[in-house]
Structure 1
Amino acid sequence: MEGFHFDCHFLSIAWWGGKQFDNVRYMSERDPLTGTYNRRTVEQSFHKAAKICDLKNQSLGVIMLDLNNFKEVNDEYGHHTGDELLIQIASTLNKYVTKNDLVARWGGDEFIILVSNMKESFAVDYVQKLQREITLQSSENLSNVGTSVGYAIYPQHGNSFQKLVQEADAKMYKEKKEK
């Protein structure tokens, strides 16, 4: 009976240790506010996805999304409301994308999405639908918040993650200036 008692303690400690490892791993991969992936994780995922794209002769979309007038939300309604808006946007993005896509908070009020096998002909339609979905969700609470979105496609627009982010970012800010 004494061996059984020892085994139970050992199993309890092993379970607890495994649970702690899972928690640490989750926190190292995720943005603590929105629960989306973080910058480091999206970059690592891009490199893995790009290798798969190369093997399958597919493409990979990199979409940058920025909230318009987010500073005004924080200034007028407070940072708690701004945080709630970011959580809401992250939830909307996660519902919008497919299970093979990845949503990450890039920083502040910017998000990045990796879209599996995204074609140039599909990109504009995808981005417009995404913007409508976010505008619809955010307008329920704050009518003055919109989005600017830009995209780049691997390998057509670049071979490195940094190049694609720059390309998507440039398109996003061009759109922002036009609004």
Structure 2
Amino acid sequence: MPVTPDELCARLAASGIAFHRTDHPAVFTVAETAPHRDLMIGLQTKNLFLKDKKGRLFLVSARSDARIDLKRLHERIGASGRLSFGSAELLLEKLGVTPGSVTAFAVVNDRAGEVTMVLDAQLVTGEEVNFHPLVNTATLRVRRDDLLAFLRGTGHEPLIVDLPVPADGQSG
């Protein structure tokens, strides 16, 4: 059974990880979070569940305005060939979340260690970061060091890569 949002929050607290929770209506895209951002300080994120040609799985967490080039990302993360999105069924099976709720915290459900956690270098600069707590009706803000400790505590040493933020403010 996947970890629930309440169980995740309890696990964070038990690990000494401080977080701030903001509840909001369901959001499915980065754009839909805009009306709620005034309530949330720290870096906003986007999260992609991807697979390569050999079936290896990747969870990519990046700044919400990072430009992620799926045609070239495989070169940066050591994937075999171009990446594609994992299906909703595979996402639920491996990470215990549904589309719109993809989050770095979902690796807590990857007990077999089948998913490679990829973090945008911009998320480890020191500013607090925001991720859904396994559902898209809330957002948790945590410190960078706490995020890294959480990921490592689940057995997911993150692969940190530079995902550029376009100067023109356009995301991709």
- TM-score, normalisation: structure 1: 0.28
Higher radius of gyration, 1 or 2: 1
The structure where helix makes up a greater share of residues is: 1
Relative contact order, higher structure (CA 8 A, sep 6+): 2
